[in-house]
Chain A
Amino acid sequence: EAGVAQSPRYKIIEKRQSVAFWCNPISGHATLYWYQQILGQGPKLLIQFQNNGVVDDSQLPKDRFSAERLKGVDSTLKIQPAKLEDSAVYLCASSFTPTGHFNYGYTFGSGTRLTVV
């Protein structure tokens, strides 16, 4: 079974520029998550989708961050304009159900490491 695919792997941008990340979840996984992991911290949920609907985006900084999952499969996360404090790894995860599969929980991608200079 293919894992969660994310691209790009690394991105360096200047502050105030925009950036987009892409995620392709495991086939058949209805639930998709975007997490932000700042260096030295645990991942923090930004947004959760169930199919193509938003379940929770309470911690998404909506003045600069946006995310979509138009057809209930792939998802994109955008930051515009970026700030220095947005430097982090952005992780995408998927699961068959919102509680995570019994055998493998939530499956995470390798992440996109964003550096804002």
Chain B
Amino acid sequence: AQKVTQAQTEISVVEKEDVTLDCVYETRDTTYYLFWYKQPPSGELVFLIRRNSFDEQNEISGRYSWNFQKSTSSFNFTITASQVVDSAVYFCALRGDSSYKLIFGSGTRLLVRP
């Protein structure tokens, strides 16, 4: 079975603080893909990153960074110097090669206060 757990239901920070969103996944597939999506209040899902299971290199894109650790089955997402516009629900998702399904976690609502 495949599963994505986002234990943090809601996080509230003050602008300019760093914040890390946790994601833990379960899969028996040796090849799989991990995703992060942002869902602002307008409702659309905005793609942030895709990472395959063979690439454990951490990635940085501007204020965003991702830490992929196969040993702990985690794919955490850090926003540095958060901004009010970062307020949204963030979803971690998994797709294993044994299934065509993109499995989402329950999401973490991030509120960045000015």
Contact = CB atoms under 8 A, between A and B. Distances in A.
Interface of A: 33, 40-45, 48, 55-56, 89, 91, 93, 98-100, 102-111, 113
Contacts of A48: 100-101
A63 B99 CA distance: 24
Contact of B104 (A43, A98, A99, A113): A43
Contact of A100 (B33, B43, B46, B104): B33
Contact of B44 (A44, A56, A102, A110): A110
Contact of A106 (B47, B105, B107): B47
A106 to B, nearest CB: 6
Contact of A44 (B33, B100, B104): B104
B102 interface: yes
Please tell me the size bucket of the interface on B.
20 to 34
A55 B95 CA distance: 15
Contacts of A99: 33, 95
Interface of B: 4, 33, 35, 37, 42-47, 50, 91, 93, 95, 99-107
Given A102-B50, A104-B47, A108-B44, A55 B102 contact: no
A100 B95 contact: yes
Nearest to A48: B100
8 contacts: A42-B4, A42-B107, A43-B104, A45-B103, A48-B101, A100-B33, A106-B47, A108-B47
Given A42-B105, A100-B33, 8 more contacts: A42-B106, A42-B107, A55-B100, A93-B45, A98-B100, A108-B45, A110-B43, A111-B43
Contacts of A102: 50
Contacts of B106: 40-42
Contact of A89 (B43, B91, B100, B101): B43
A107 B46 CA distance: 8
A74 B90 CA distance: 28
A61 B44 CA distance: 24
